[in-house]
Amino acid sequence: MPFTSYPAKHFVLLKGLKTLFSLLNSGFCSSHSQHSFNKCEPDPFVKIGHLKMQMQTGLNAIEDQYEQCEAKYPNKTAIACMINAEISAVLAVMRRNVRWGVHYMLDDDQSEHFLVQSLKTLRRQIFSWQNQWHTVNPALYLQPFLDVIRSDETSAPITGVALSSVYKILTLDVIDQHTVNVGDSMHLVVDSVTSCRFEVTDPGSEEVVLMKILQVLLACVKGKASVMLSNQHICTIVNTCFRIVHQAGTKGELLQRIARYTMHELVRSIFSHLQNIDNTKCGFINGSATLKQVNNGLNNEHALASRELENERLNSAHDAQPLSTVTGSGIATVVTANVVDENTAMNYNKTEPHELQLMTDGVPCMVEIFHFLCSLLNVTEHMGVNPRPNTMTFDEDVPLFALTLINSAIELGGPSFRHHPGLLSLIQDELFYNLMQFGLSISPLVLSMVCSIVLNLYQHLRQELKLQLEAFFSCVILRLAQSKYGASYQQQEVVMEALVDFCRQKTFMVEMYTNFDCDISYSDVFEDIANLLSKSAFPVNNPLSSIHILALDGLIVVMQGIAERLGSGSLSSEQSPVNFEEYTPFWMEKCDSFADPNDWVPFFRQRKYIKRKLMIGADHFNRDSKKGLEFLQGAHLLPNKPDPQSVACFLRYTAGLDKNLIGDFLGNHEEFYVQVLHEFAKTFDFHDMTLDTALRVLLETFRLPGESQKIHRVLEAFSERYYEQSPDILANKDAALVLSYSIILLNTDHHNVQVKKKMTEEDFIRNNRHINDGNDLPREFLSEIYHSICKNEIRTTLEPGFGFPEMTPSRWISLMHRANKTAPYIVSDSRAYLDYDMFVLLSGPTIAAISVVFDNAENKEVYQRCMDGFLVAAKISAYYHLENVLDDLVVCLCKFVTVLDPLSVDDSVLAFGDDTKVRIATETVFTIANRYGDYIRTGWRNILDCILIFYKLGLLPTHLASDAADESQVTTEIGHGKSTSNSLLSSNLQYIAPKRSSGLISRFSQLLSLGSEEIRSIPTKEQLVAHQQATQAIQKCHIDSIFTESKFLQAESLLNLERALINAGSQHLKGNRMSEDEESSVLCLELLVAITLNNRDRVVLLWKGVYDHISNIIQSTLMPCALVEKAIFGLLRICHRLLPYKENITDELLRSLQLVLKLDALVADSYYEQITQEVGFLVKANASHIRSQSGWWTITALLSITSRHLESSEAGFDALLFIMSDGAHLLPANYILCVDAARQFAESRVGQVDRSIIALDLMVSSVNSLERWSSNAKKAAKEEEVEKMLQDIEEMWFRLVQGLGKVCLDQREEVRNHALLSLQKCLKGAVGAHIPGDLWLTCFDKVIFIVLEDLIEIAESHSQKVYPNVEGTLVIALKLMSEVFLQLLQELSQLAAFCELWEGMLSCMEKCAKMKFKGRRSEKLQVLVPELLKNTLLVMKSGGILVQINNGSGENSLWELTWLHMKNIAPSLHSEVFPEQDPEQLQHKQVKAVESLGPDANISDPSNEKEGQDGVEIS
């Protein structure tokens, strides 16, 4: 009968695994068809989680039992009964077999088989043991069962029952670490179970036994006594389980699943102890050795193995022939203990029982197990994404199983791997190299598992895997994620999922940027990933796929990570500029401390700056090497006179250089280039490298030139450097040079398809005889080089079109050598040290990608995800003050809203309500505007376009254009509004919605109206729902907050918002007429006024733009319209609201009102009444704040205009009355202006006479103010100020008198006469004042005489109907003149010009006396004039002013002139006033006086006058 045997474990070196690899290739891997594998595929990889959960539940239950029994062992009688039951069970099964059920008689002696005897003996003894159970040697009650298990005479059912009995004993807490001789007992169990033999009766029974073996071995590892297992036995257990896994491939599915699961649990159990192992204080119990020594041995062995692995990898990387070595018995050794030879293995057996326990020093077995798992990845030659066809079949089962186990080990071991050099070196080298190869697998399952492992390694060991991580992303992730490298869609999807998982790690992208992008020695991993994600999110000519969404998620996750770190104490929010003013060797720059962010953050920013400059220099160099070097000199990255070392370092460390150009540059024969070549060679470290490996590393950096002389120079420099660092085998550098030449020739010969006859190994060895200083090199040395070159071509250039290179063996070896010298890996501490720099690179592609995905998306979840991305980007942009980024973001969002513009109103409202995408975009853009408006610049224009669209649709709130003072009056109504009045008397500028009767709501309103004559179509339910959704969306936007809260905007943003409103409002102006879109201009103007009022503290910032815009509207409008109306009253409202608060710009505000004066006449007439009312309100509210003359000039000018306008004059006069009444608001600055305005109202015939009378009274009463100011001025401290103030008061008084004088000529008698009386009051009231004589003379000349002369002219030229009763007015005027003259006579007589003044009076009297009304002289004047003259002459006589002086000089002209005029007026007055004077003498003097006056004297002789010709007849 066939037997299945499991012989004892033989330990050999791990290199013996090639035998197993051959077995697996020929048997295990080929025994499954693709179909059969798919059938079992869900078990180990898809359903493994479920199985693990079930097993874990059972294990937890067992652990709970262990905890309950720690304090007290189970009852020994109960244990004895249990073991007795197991003995009975085994014996019962054995009796079924004839061999065991019949006793054989020999020589009358009855004998039983020793297996039965041992079981029965145990039954007899078990109840007689008196000691506690843990003091009983477990071997006593385990040995009978183990004998049954090891016996090859037992059948499968018997072996299975025995295994079940052992399993039961192991799981009942009977044995633990405190049990007597537990170590030997556990070793006995392991040895027995792993050496299990049984007779195969049927396949089912065999599978049952194999499953029970797995069960027992797993119990050994999971039990409490497992800590007593040695490294040797742990390896034996793993070896046995894996062989069962291997054999299960040809058996039932259940066994396959259980075997794989058991293997998985074994690995988990073993490596779960790694965290509890102390790497520094572990040793043997007997103290004969320490684990440190063991680890050192492991390290030395692994270093040797690594060097062997490098050569082995080079020899086997492209070998397509499977390994076929098989042991004689067909069973390969799988796992070896950590020994070097068989003697060492024997030493394990000779050590004390408790040596090498798992819990104390289990690292050796873990190293071997992990090494074995890594080696499993070499079983099958991987098929990568390669343009070259690969005819090999690819079986993913073994590598996938190995990867799963490796992943479990890493999950359980975690960061503890870094404390054990043996394990860490395996991960850094062998594991990661295999992951790089299997990362290019065509199997999505393998690729997914590889990515999961790398993610776990990143989490736990990224500080030790810096270069490996960069290589993995560059050579795997970034290659497979792009279809141009030949990857399938499934591969791209898996890779994208993995990449997004990496991005979800909060610090991943930060660390990629810090450690790689900011280091000139590495590729730009962060930028490459960001570009990949952004490009992958673009659905080019295709609908959205899962890859697009994944890429979008990756971008958004990265942005969210940056957003979460905002304000986390970064060193600076923005990147400080980096400039090099002088040359410093960039490759020698060192960071003082990588632990202190204050040191490494500026250092990395500087390195990033250098890297950018180097990349630009590389681009120039690839075009022209001289220009490239010149650019670097200008950037101070090379000295002004380039030295060989600096140029060599540029060629060595700069990515992106053309390798052909580097080769030609280095091969140049000129002295400088030769020096550069030698310096270039010195940048390499060839320690511990074979010659062919060193040559590969060198030629990875450039392409070897084609010319022989250039090749010689390159190889000569290389050989010198190599011999300098590796002089062990080679005698001199010449030997290195010759051998290098030989290697190049061999490479060309073997890999050139044109060479038919290839060089053999013997040829190669023969060609290199006597080159080592006359001696031969070792044959093994040359043979190894030969096979290395034959197996792997030395490649000097990348394959065409490949931007991300493959990981070749030589490149990996170079990477491992670099790993020892690289800068430490910076682990992010979740602070925003370099987030600004990252976001600047990330923002543009991310916003573009989100926008495109949103545009193509049709799913609400995707919509929301995109909006989350936009909001995050906006938050970061605002935090870092990146206004241009925020503007781009706003533009992207607004384009989804402006698509509604071309549609009709109804269609647009319905489209907006039905389109979730547009509504979400709208809510997002206004959320950004409200939250981050401080940093929006040109984006305001796009936001305003959206607002105007909603305005046209009638969806905006009615209080949109309100300001802070109006908030108590605003409403939240949505829809079409109507203006209830054209008057803007109130302080609230309500929004007036477009008046359209075709809108949806209008139709619906008409339907509900009882008075409607025509009922239009009834809106459908869908339309009403759409409109409700539209209005709700607008409500969520809080559009009004943008303007009401504009007072919190930063100045630059506020200015841009103002410009946007002005531009939007101005583009609708076309020449002198308004376009059809006038309503939009009106809204923009209202919003402009609103933000101006809301920013009263910063109105200076806005004022120029506001004023220019309103001025443009007012001056370009020739017809009344809503826009000019809003402009006028908006301007008035601004002045009204801001005057109390902004004294510094009061004049500017008031000066702006002069625009009203520039209104076209037709426009002005339409709004005079409202303008006047608003001006009145402004004056009454702000009169005390108006101080300047220019401001008052504007006010009075506006009020004066109203005096000629019927509707507005009342309001205008009311404002003037408010100013001038009681002099409450009269100021020196406004006195003349107000008097002039009052004069205009007095002269105006628009109103009633009473108003003119009141105006005159206001003018007269204003004298009180002059008196008050004069009194106050005299109290001033400085004399100069007093004099200046008095002069101003005199001027104001004279202007008042002049004004009254003008009104004295009014056509209306009442007004005219009242004006004269008012003038008289002013003049007489000022007599006592300090009015200088010169001013009085001026007053007579410019006012009194002018009034009389004008009245005389009026009387002569106009009829009584036009100017009624002018005679009476003249009477009043003459009396006024006479009275004032007499009151001032003494003062005036002292003036030099008194004679001229007196002559003027006489002339006026004479004209009045000669006037005729209707052909007759006026009786009143005939009586009045002589009387007034007589009184005057008498006063002058009594005052000694008018006296006759006989000095003979003829200087008494006053006397002569008086009587010359008197002859024409009243000759008799002389005798009446001077009766004592001789008339003849008087006449003689008059003649002389006339002669002295000259021929032009206007004095008539009454004797020559004829009656009827004395005057002009008045009709």
Task: Place 943 in a pLDDT band, splitting at 50, 70 and 90.
Answer: very high
Task: Place 1499 in a pLDDT band, splitting at 50, 70 and 90.
Answer: very low
Of 1469 and 570, the structure prediction assigns the larger pLDDT to 1469
- Which range of 803-817, 861-875, 1166-1180, 1353-1367 scores highest in mean pLDDT? It is 861-875
In 915-999, alpha helices (H): 916-932, 939-952
Is the separation of the CB atoms in 1409 and 1422 below 8 Å? yes
Q: What percent of the chain has pLDDT over 90?
A: 22
Name the least confident of 17-31, 1058-1072, 1242-1256, 1419-1433: 17-31
- Asked whether the predicted pLDDT for residue 922 surpasses 50, the reply is yes
Of 904 and 790, the structure prediction assigns the larger pLDDT to 790
In this prediction, residue 1387 carries a pLDDT of: 82
Name the least confident of 333-347, 574-588, 1423-1437, 1449-1463: 333-347
- Asked whether the predicted pLDDT for residue 950 surpasses 70, the reply is yes
Tens of pLDDT along 1162-1179?
A: 888 888 888 888 888 888
How many CB atoms are closer than 10 A to CB 231? 25
- From 393, 438, 319, 379, select the one nearest 22 (Cα to Cα): 379
Task: Place 571 in a pLDDT band, splitting at 50, 70 and 90.
Answer: low
- Cα–Cα dist 1311/1250, whole Å: 9
- From 420, 308, 329, select the one nearest 375 (Cα to Cα): 308
Strands annotated E in 1198-1260: none
- Asked whether the predicted pLDDT for residue 987 surpasses 80, the reply is no
- Cα–Cα dist 691/723, whole Å: 9
Task: Place 1476 in a pLDDT band, splitting at 50, 70 and 90.
Answer: low
Residue 193, both tokens: 């179970």
Residues in the chain: 1515
- Asked whether the predicted pLDDT for residue 1119 surpasses 70, the reply is yes
DSSP for residue 476: I
Residue 1117, both tokens: 């409008």
How many CB atoms are closer than 10 A to CB 317? 17
Residue 1022, both tokens: 């869908």
CA torsion, ordered 232, 234, 239, 244, to nearest 10 deg: 140
- Cα–Cα dist 711/1383, whole Å: 127
Is 67 among the residues known to form the active site? no
**List 342, 589, 707, 1207, catalytic entry:** 707
- Asked whether the predicted pLDDT for residue 1305 surpasses 70, the reply is yes
Residue 408, both tokens: 């479990």
- Asked whether the predicted pLDDT for residue 1415 surpasses 80, the reply is no
Residue 88, both tokens: 């009975």
In this prediction, residue 105 carries a pLDDT of: 44
Position 576: which residue type? S
Mean pLDDT of 1099-1118: 90
- From 791, 764, 779, 792, select the one nearest 729 (Cα to Cα): 779
How many CB atoms are closer than 10 A to CB 681? 22
Mean pLDDT of 978-1005: 35
- Asked whether the predicted pLDDT for residue 1284 surpasses 70, the reply is yes
- Asked whether the predicted pLDDT for residue 288 surpasses 60, the reply is no
- Asked whether the predicted pLDDT for residue 1290 surpasses 80, the reply is yes
Sign of the four-CA dihedral 523, 527, 530, 531? negative
- Asked whether the predicted pLDDT for residue 392 surpasses 50, the reply is no
Mean pLDDT of 1027-1053: 91
Mean pLDDT of 239-244: 92
Name the least confident of 1307-1316, 1373-1382, 1403-1412: 1403-1412
Give the largest CA-CA distance in the chain: 213
Name the least confident of 474-488, 861-875, 1272-1286: 1272-1286
In 285-380, alpha helices (H): 291-316, 342-350, 358-361, 363-376
Q: Please list, in sequence order, all residues whose beta carbon lies within 8 angstroms of the beta carbon of residue 47, skipping any fewer than 6 positions away.
A: none
Beta pairing partners, 105: 110
Tens of pLDDT along 62-86?
A: 344 434 444 445 677 888 888 899 9
- Asked whether the predicted pLDDT for residue 37 surpasses 90, the reply is no
Name the least confident of 36-45, 169-178, 1266-1275, 1307-1316: 36-45
Of 944 and 1384, the structure prediction assigns the larger pLDDT to 944
Position 1122: which residue type? A
Mean pLDDT of 1482-1511: 44
Calculate the average pLDDT of the chain.
77
Mean pLDDT of 605-632: 87
Burial (CB count within 10 angstroms: exposed 0-12, middle 13-18, buried 19+), residue 1184: exposed
Position 852: which residue type? V
In this prediction, residue 1458 carries a pLDDT of: 77
- Asked whether the predicted pLDDT for residue 1126 surpasses 60, the reply is yes
How many CB atoms are closer than 10 A to CB 1334? 11
Mean pLDDT of 127-137: 82
Distance of CA 1255 to the CA centre of its chain: 67
- Cα–Cα dist 762/783, whole Å: 9
- Cα–Cα dist 197/1432, whole Å: 163
Mean pLDDT of 1390-1418: 79
- Cα–Cα dist 1176/1213, whole Å: 9
- Asked whether the predicted pLDDT for residue 1497 surpasses 80, the reply is no
Q: Please list, in sequence order, all residues whose beta carbon lies within 8 angstroms of the beta carbon of residue 385, skipping any fewer than 6 positions away.
A: 440, 442, 479, 480, 485, 486, 487, 491
Name the least confident of 335-344, 591-600, 733-742: 335-344
Burial (CB count within 10 angstroms: exposed 0-12, middle 13-18, buried 19+), residue 1246: middle
Is the separation of the CB atoms in 1343 and 1301 below 8 Å? yes
- Asked whether the predicted pLDDT for residue 525 surpasses 50, the reply is yes
Task: Place 585 in a pLDDT band, splitting at 50, 70 and 90.
Answer: confident
The SS3 assignment for 4 reads strand
Of 381 and 856, the structure prediction assigns the larger pLDDT to 856
- The pTM is what? 0.76
Residue 220, both tokens: 């050994």
The SS3 assignment for 891 reads helix
In this prediction, residue 957 carries a pLDDT of: 80
Residue 837, both tokens: 């720099």
Task: Place 162 in a pLDDT band, splitting at 50, 70 and 90.
Answer: very high
Residue 1187 vs residues 591, 635, 1140, 1225: alpha-carbon distances, Å: 66, 61, 12, 10
- Asked whether the predicted pLDDT for residue 1193 surpasses 50, the reply is yes
Q: What are phi and psi of 468, to 5 degrees?
A: -65, -40
- Which range of 394-398, 1085-1089, 1488-1492, 1495-1499 scores highest in mean pLDDT? It is 1085-1089
- Cα–Cα dist 1029/1036, whole Å: 11
Distance of CA 110 to the CA centre of its chain: 95
Tens of pLDDT along 164-210?
A: 999 998 888 788 888 888 888 899 999 999 998 887 778 888 889 99
Name the least confident of 458-472, 539-553, 841-855: 539-553
In this prediction, residue 581 carries a pLDDT of: 67
Is the separation of the CB atoms in 1438 and 1464 below 8 Å? no
Q: What percent of the chain has pLDDT over 70?
A: 78
Tens of pLDDT along 307-327?
A: 443 444 444 333 333 322 222
Is the separation of the CB atoms in 141 and 82 below 8 Å? no
- Cα–Cα dist 370/271, whole Å: 9
- Cα–Cα dist 732/730, whole Å: 6
Mean pLDDT of 831-856: 90
- Cα–Cα dist 828/509, whole Å: 10
Is the separation of the CB atoms in 1239 and 1259 below 8 Å? yes
Is the separation of the CB atoms in 761 and 783 below 8 Å? yes
DSSP secondary structure string, 1482-1506? Answer: HHHHHHHHHHHH-TT-----GGGPP
In this prediction, residue 21 carries a pLDDT of: 37
CA torsion, ordered 664, 669, 673, 675, to nearest 10 deg: 130
- Cα–Cα dist 736/721, whole Å: 10
- Asked whether the predicted pLDDT for residue 758 surpasses 80, the reply is yes
Is the separation of the CB atoms in 265 and 405 below 8 Å? no
Is the separation of the CB atoms in 1367 and 1323 below 8 Å? no
Mean pLDDT of 896-902: 77
